[in-house]
Amino acid sequence: MGQTPDALNLPSGWRTRFAPAPTGFLHLGHVVNALYVWGVARANDGRVVLRIEDHDRSRCRPEYERALLDDLDWLGFVPDEGTTAEFRAGESPLRQSDNDWRYAAAITALDLRGLVYPCKCSRGDVARLVTDRPNEEMPYPGTCRTAALAPDASLQRRVTLDGSRERFFDLRLGPQEQLPSTQCGDLLLRDRLGQWTYQFAVTVDDLDQKIDVVIRGEDLLASTGRQRALARLLGRRRPLHFLHHPLVLKPGGEKLSKSAGDSGVRELREAGHTSAEVIGRAAHLAGLIDEARALEVREIPELFGQG
């Protein structure tokens, strides 16, 4: 796995999080992430926070949240903070849609420092302006940075990122270097519908919830530099540590999709599989065990160095 959180001299009870978005039903890719989150935490004296990332109100559904809570209970993944019972009981400081005020306060603080500006550019506008990287992420070219738009010209808001290079050590992949200003340009914090973006919401959450280590899939590796840069602007002094684990892929190389119903936990349950069998299948697909077999939750820390 590479370097462990324990080797970083983190305090006992360091914090990580499992943060699903209720935009569909859980699949084996989510189980792999849970394996890494709970496995690394339990093997290295960490604590797991459950967070519901429902910032995208156009795609999130209450029925998906209920289903993912049921699946977590069935699988046996029990968080140290943010229990499934607490989420079922009503509002929670760990559900993004219940904490709009925190994001509003954070963007206001950035705005008062002159770091935020209105933007009316759509994705199509950016695509037309950026033509030299057709198969890569499109960096925002700064069109509205000096346009002096009126605040009511658009609900969209961007934060100005300087040209600083971000260097960090991934606990599995080793040394990394990213340049957010050329990857993504000025970062979008609020979209055209007035919704907080993923990049902004999770950065505020990780700071406010005192997360020490982020454990997530390799598909989010490219987001790390920009989130580190934004976290500093928001006042984070001790940088987050990151561990990006392998993804479970389809035979053609595409990652599993909630919208496509790939290897859904509820379908496996309905087919008669036990929770231990589902966990074992996910562990095998992730390369954590050589052959698929029933794997109990209590055995997971052994996969990450606790024996």
Looking at residue 124, what is its pLDDT? 83
- What domains lie within the chain, and their CATH numbers? 5-98+166-176+199-304 (3.40.50.620)
Looking at residue 307, what is its pLDDT? 46
Report residue 172's pLDDT band, with 50, 70 and 90 as the boundaries: very high
Q: How far apart are CA 152 and CA 87, in angstroms?
A: 35
pLDDT at 158 over 80: yes
CA angle 36, 206, 116 (to 5 degrees): 135
Q: How far apart are CA 141 and CA 34, in angstroms?
A: 37
Q: Which of 71-85, 121-135, 154-168, 216-230 is least confident?
A: 121-135
Q: How many C-beta atoms lie closer than 10 Å to residue 235's C-beta?
A: 9
Report residue 252's pLDDT band, with 50, 70 and 90 as the boundaries: low
* Per-residue DSSP letter, 1: -
Do residues 5 and 241 make contact, with C-beta atoms less than 8 angstroms apart?
yes
Average pLDDT over residues 15-39: 96
Predicted structure pTM score:
0.92
Report residue 128's pLDDT band, with 50, 70 and 90 as the boundaries: confident
Average pLDDT over residues 21-43: 96
Looking at residue 218, what is its pLDDT? 96
pLDDT at 129 over 90: no
Do residues 47 and 80 make contact, with C-beta atoms less than 8 angstroms apart?
yes
